[in-house]
Structure 1
């Protein structure tokens, strides 16, 4: 049940009496991994975002100082994935459903005495929902501190492993995600079916990625479901990315533990 998460750090393995007796619950760090079940091209399984979140978090928790109380909640495998709706297998919840789910999880944890919750999101289609949930929960309970963090943003070092074009244009199922999956679940990666496909160029400054963008669905950008170069991926690169992300998350968990109310 705990997958990549160290069992002693898996919240759902605790009993209610153990949770009741936890010391310093207000300073205990809880992490809610949020992923997606959606297409990732012809070479990757649907659970990429969920697997990456759990793999990175599990490695970070393994490295974390054992004296820092931190627990991973059971993952939310479904997310808001309607941009991939044209590709079979994608399962999408509405933004309202994801938001309400996070709000109710947060309220349950607040009632139990917890005051620090990281919303660890690994799917690029829903960071705004995480941010709204975090703000709304904090507005409702002003001593409840939430941290909506995208899995890939704890460090920028991994971008040095990618080509310039990949950094600028890749959005989905490209080099980085494929490499990381080769490190985490290599038996589930079909590299013979990996493809290289980038979005069509737009005039001026508008693009599918960046500060000046437009509304799009994945099939507007790619016929394969890949937006990037999956053929450039390697397990060695994936292991390096995993190390960098896990290091960044380990540091973040310590920062949240030491975070003081504003």
Structure 2
């Protein structure tokens, strides 16, 4: 899948510096930085699954937005924070401190250029909290720059209703959703295996869970021998197409609303 001419115009690296300067000076100027990871995704999905999702879906979203909206993107950050998967070959994980320093450094330079918002568009669930920490640290050092750490799968509405239980709540990695979406986006990268793995032998104590309001810092090897945490057996391109549509439409709506507002509140908006 190649980038459309419209989405290509949104890429900061394709601008000359005077163009970038004019872009940053527009009211509400926003940069989106897609984040993925380089980690095992079971025997059927590529190591760059999360990065590919963030990159491809963001391009679709930006191509669908009105060209007048002041929003641009950075190249995808394909190496992330993945210590939970390091017992599997192929996983490459950055130290938390390095990723935080990178975000703080690049964010400060974007603020210096005059951009007003930075959206961290993340597709790897294992670094949600880390990007939230990095965003808060960046904001504290550069209060003029709004920083919004987002997760690809939790922004748009209606994603969960496409997935049956227990996969909706327990399919944490390389299961039904991710395998189906990859079958839709790049089917030639999907291998023939369809594992079901990582199923808990017994439920956690009442109120506790692997992820949720009272989570546990699980490692993939605790749960799975294949790297899959979930059930990929029913994965299909039709489900992938439905997931793609809701993700793209959902993020189009979210970015349109953001760019039509003065959100989030900053020093200039305080009474």
TM-score (norm 1): 0.94
Provide structure 2 residue ranges, at least 5 long, that are not aligned to the other structure. none
Q: Distance in 2 between matches of 1:31 and 1:67?
A: 16
Shift of the alpha carbon at 1:17?
A: 1.8
Q: Kindly indicate whether residue 34 of structure 2 is the aligned counterpart of residue 33 of structure 1.
A: yes
> What RMSD over aligned residues (CA atoms) do the two structures have, in Å?
1.8
Shift of the alpha carbon at 1:202?
A: 3.2
Superposition pairs for residues 116-131 of structure 1, below 5 Å?
116-131=117-132
Q: Kindly indicate whether residue 213 of structure 2 is the aligned counterpart of residue 211 of structure 1.
A: yes
Q: Distance in 2 between matches of 1:56 and 1:85?
A: 26
CA distance 1:209–1:259, shift in 2 (3 Å): same
Q: Deviations along 1:156-177, whole A, 9 cap, x unmatched?
A: 4121121110012110000111
Larger deviation: 24-33 or 36-45?
24-33
Q: Alignment partner of 2:172: what SS?
A: coil
Larger deviation: 171-180 or 17-26?
17-26
Shift of the alpha carbon at 1:26?
A: 4.7
Superposition pairs for residues 124-163 of structure 1, below 5 Å?
124-163=125-164
Shift of the alpha carbon at 1:128?
A: 1.2
Residue in structure 2 matching 1:220, options 199, 219, 222: 222
Q: Alignment partner of 1:157: what SS?
A: coil
Q: Deviations along 1:30-82, whole A, 9 cap, x unmatched?
A: 10001000000000000000011112111111211111121110111000001
Q: Alignment partner of 1:149: what SS?
A: strand
CA contact 1:39–1:90 (8 Å) conserved in 2: yes
Aligned to 1:69: 70
Provide structure 1 residue ranges, at least 5 long, that are not aligned to the other structure. none
Q: Distance in 2 between matches of 1:144 and 1:23?
A: 12
CA contact 1:122–1:152 (8 Å) conserved in 2: yes
Q: Deviations along 1:143-162, whole A, 9 cap, x unmatched?
A: 21011000111124121121
Q: Distance in 1 between matches of 2:185 and 2:172?
A: 20
Aligned to 1:251: 253
Q: Alignment partner of 1:31: what SS?
A: strand
CA contact 2:35–2:120 (8 Å) conserved in 1: yes
Shift of the alpha carbon at 1:23?
A: 6.6
Q: Distance in 2 between matches of 1:130 and 1:213?
A: 17
Superposition pairs for residues 19-58 of structure 1, below 5 Å?
19-22=20-23, 24-58=25-59
Larger deviation: 12-21 or 250-259?
250-259
